[in-house]
A and B are shown apart, each in its own frame.
Chain A
């Protein structure tokens, strides 16, 4: 029994010494094994109680191990001695520690940094938007990316001959489904599942057969939002989106709501904020208008309510959608959408 403990002790001590990186650590190992209350002393204490035939052998073995470990400790200390031949020393860190021994530790040397990871900027943007809307009570919903035409178009009041259904604007699959081209699909799925009041946002991937360039990717991310209740008005829409934009882009931005068109909202609006890159004076990013578009929104079209079986006389609501890549690009002044999917660590580690 004792013999086995000694074998295990030897292997562990050697391991500890090999791992020790400073004189201090070596000293710690020495005390742990050889010290007055060290592991070997502990074992030796038990020797007198052994049967006589084992006593002497164990005593010998323990002493031998003590010598062995103490040699190892001395050997390890030599690695740090200034007189050791530095040309064979391949670990510069140890050389620095040698100065430590002489009491001339260079405090200006760089700290040893632990590596840490990064969360993708797209995820960070989504998280930030989720957290802002969560304060207004919007719960997060998800939906499938492989969708039926019904959810991507029909229920969203997109006419049967609308160009967005054609195969230059939507990816179709060999299983009668399509790759959703907008996260608005989740509006429909949520309303079909639940009764008002509803407050939800739905982040996720969407797909369009655009030829990839600095401004277009065939896969990108959107966040859809929806609020349905009795008595919801355009004022509420303006309030929610103004609150959001001021938190996300800053209190000082100016905002503009202007009429637009989406099949699933009416009245529809596009929301612009003052260009922060040029301070609204006009630059390339804002096409010299001083404004950049950040959101599409509107009051839920009665046809959409009809499709999900809500009484459009009783309930009203608003919906909005935004492009995550676009918001992230505006925020950081990134000029090429492809950077997000190239995943160069030199890019990712900036966020």
Chain B
């Protein structure tokens, strides 16, 4: 809301400089965003919070200034001489929508002379960024800016039937607004109509056909209270915003409706000549109830943590135009003025006193002190995993949860259900919540490739969103998705290291998995402890082509919550042996179908005491070995905790291992 520094002084003759005024208003809750010198005046841009529509007029702001400087508020008089002719003999107003228009007032001024408004008035409007039009229009704008109450002047002679009907628009009715917008209405829009057609969009803008022009002689002056929500919806729907709609949306003061009408009529008569008809139309269905609130002074003291005398509290409230109804030792009962609809509870009074007294005068001391709280388990696991990935050269990324609906082409990871949809997306092709992070990681790789970074080792740890059947609450699942540029096994290694770091000693069980995200030969669904843990695979040729990748990334997406549940955060210690190891390297020939997991599993079933570790180190195929066969080399490490092992003991173990492999998997030693 823009105000003029000099204009403000009409209502409160303070001696504050522009800077002092800005600071004072800001400290009272009306932030002055900027002050711009304009000629000999200044335009102050005041940020008015949505609870304070009373400050959407310069008078309202002057009221705050008068409280700050402890001076009087000067409200202009609105008495004027009238014609003997009564308004009721000239026109009638019918209000069909009392809900949407709880109060409608009208005055008629006859015989005016349209012309430019006086220089002082034009100048004030210009400071607020308004373009002067003619004396009548300028005055309605002037009073709007002064009081916060929007007004509209119709050329009375252009109103068909010389009557006004406040009604809903008929579907398809049209109007050209003053700003040139051609509107077609639906029945939820409230219009001001004459006997034939709409002449204004209620609370938003007048129509071109009835606007005041150079030839206008007689004025129909409207001042009303329109229901905020309807004005807001219609304004959005029609795409028209105005100084009027801005204020009606935020709730004008119902008491001020008539005052502003009188004020404007009086100014028109004084500046544009003519005579105001006696009386006014005032269709008012607002039943104002006085709001009484009791303030307990000890409550204020304990909530703010400061001690204020009751006199100080009373003084602040009275300067804010609250009326003290009764007063006891430790309480004040006050009546709230009509323009302060935001105040109706004790806490609201406490806030008024706090902000005028000044937040700065409340000390920042406290005895809340420190307090210990247990570590959050989820955060601890996140911390461990992120620091591992960090050390392994992976970069954390954060990508949008809202994605395009192409993800449904690549489903089948966690769910077969379609993605959860946003009903009011910003862009109609970006209306789904992601069901996987994988596609986002591919986009990040693509972006980096386009900007000259070839190797993109990245991961994201955050949610995917899975819909459930039959209206069950959706599943927001935290996933860890990793994009690795080093190949399938290095990525699998990263996952294994994470499991190890979290002391999860279960074997990763890969199962073949088909998805067009992945290369069919190199992708797996991973299970951990019998539960679905995630997916890992080399990106499919189709996606490689779509993204135009120059290197083949592998991607894993893991259920992070499963990790959190299975993790053991506390490490356990076991004594390390001080005796030497005996190492045996073996190369065996196996059928192609035999997996490493089978070989290792088979050795593990022996539960050999001295076998400390089994390390895979080579896989190799050749003509020599033969079709359908492969050579697998691995190392066995033997060690005892209590003595040095002998070679012949290890030979026995090795024999047993080879026998088991031969019997269960038909594996023989390579020679």
Contact = CB atoms under 8 A, between A and B. Distances in A.
Tell me if chain B binds chain A. Answer: yes
Interface of A: 1, 3-5, 7-9, 11-12, 15, 46, 114-120, 122-123, 130, 134-140, 142, 144-146, 161, 163, 166-168, 171-177, 179, 199, 205, 207, 209-212, 218-219, 227, 229, 231-236, 238-240, 242, 256-261, 266-270, 287-289, 299, 301-302, 316, 340-346, 348-349
B368 interface: yes
Interface string B586-611: 11000000000000000000000000
Contact of B424 (A1, A3, A142, A209): A209
Interface centre among A130, A168, A259 (most CB of B within 10 A): A259
B29 A259 contact: yes
B396 A175 contact: no
B463 A219 contact: no
A128 to B, nearest CB: 13
Contacts of B360: 256-257
Given A12-B633, A219-B402, A234-B304, A140 B465 contact: no
Interface string B337-348: 000000001011
Given A205-B401, A289-B34, 9 more contacts: A11-B620, A116-B390, A119-B386, A123-B396, A179-B422, A233-B304, A233-B305, A236-B305, A266-B350
8 contacts: A4-B587, A7-B670, A176-B471, A199-B371, A209-B424, A234-B303, A235-B363, A316-B303
A160 to B, nearest CB: 9
B451 interface: yes
B223 interface: no
B448 A344 contact: yes
A233 B362 CA distance: 10
A274 B457 CA distance: 39
Interface string B355-367: 1000110111110
A199 B365 CA distance: 18
Contacts, number: 256
B394 interface: yes
A110 B302 CA distance: 65
Interface string B368-409: 101111101011000000100111111111111110000000
Given A8-B585, A142-B378, A218 B402 contact: yes
Contacts of A176: 471
Interface centre among B26, B306, B421, B425 (most CB of A within 10 A): B26
B423 A172 contact: yes
Interface of B: 26-29, 31, 33-34, 49-52, 228-229, 232, 236, 249, 302-306, 345, 347-348, 350-351, 354-355, 359-360, 362-366, 368, 370-374, 376, 378-379, 386, 389-402, 420-426, 433, 444, 447-448, 451, 453, 456-458, 462-463, 465, 467, 471, 474, 476, 584-587, 617-618, 620, 633, 647, 651, 654-655, 669-671
Contacts of A268: 351
A267 B376 contact: no
B355 A267 contact: yes
A175 B471 contact: yes
B401 A207 contact: yes
Given A116-B391, A199-B371, A234-B304, A175 B420 contact: yes
Contacts of A301: 347
Given A11-B618, A117-B396, A346-B453, A234 B426 contact: no
A69 to B, nearest CB: 14
Nearest to A232: B368
A173 B363 contact: no
B474 A175 contact: yes
Contacts of B232: 163, 166
A257 B359 contact: yes
Contacts of B372: 137
A32 B534 CA distance: 42
A200 B33 CA distance: 33
Contacts of A348: 395-397
Contacts of A130: 379
A136 B370 contact: yes
A343 B424 contact: no
A257 B426 CA distance: 35
Contacts of A218: 400, 402, 426
B585 A9 contact: yes
A173 B422 contact: yes
B456 A345 contact: yes
A341 B460 CA distance: 11
A136 B457 contact: no
A209 B396 contact: no
B228 A161 contact: yes
Contacts of A12: 585, 617-618, 633
A176 B421 CA distance: 11
A173 B458 CA distance: 30
Q: Which 9 A-B pairs have the closest CB atoms?
A: A137-B371, A259-B29, A233-B305, A235-B305, A239-B366, A115-B393, A8-B585, A261-B49, A259-B355
A5 B397 CA distance: 48
B396 A120 contact: yes
A344 B456 CA distance: 10
A122 B462 CA distance: 13
B408 to A, nearest CB: 14
B514 to A, nearest CB: 29
A173 B471 CA distance: 12
Interface centre among B33, B393, B397, B402 (most CB of A within 10 A): B397
A176 to B, nearest CB: 8
B420 A172 contact: no
Contact of A140 (B27, B33, B379, B471): B379
Contacts of B376: 139-140
A134 B448 contact: no
Given A135-B370, A175-B420, A267-B354, A302 B345 contact: yes
A228 to B, nearest CB: 11
B424 A171 contact: yes
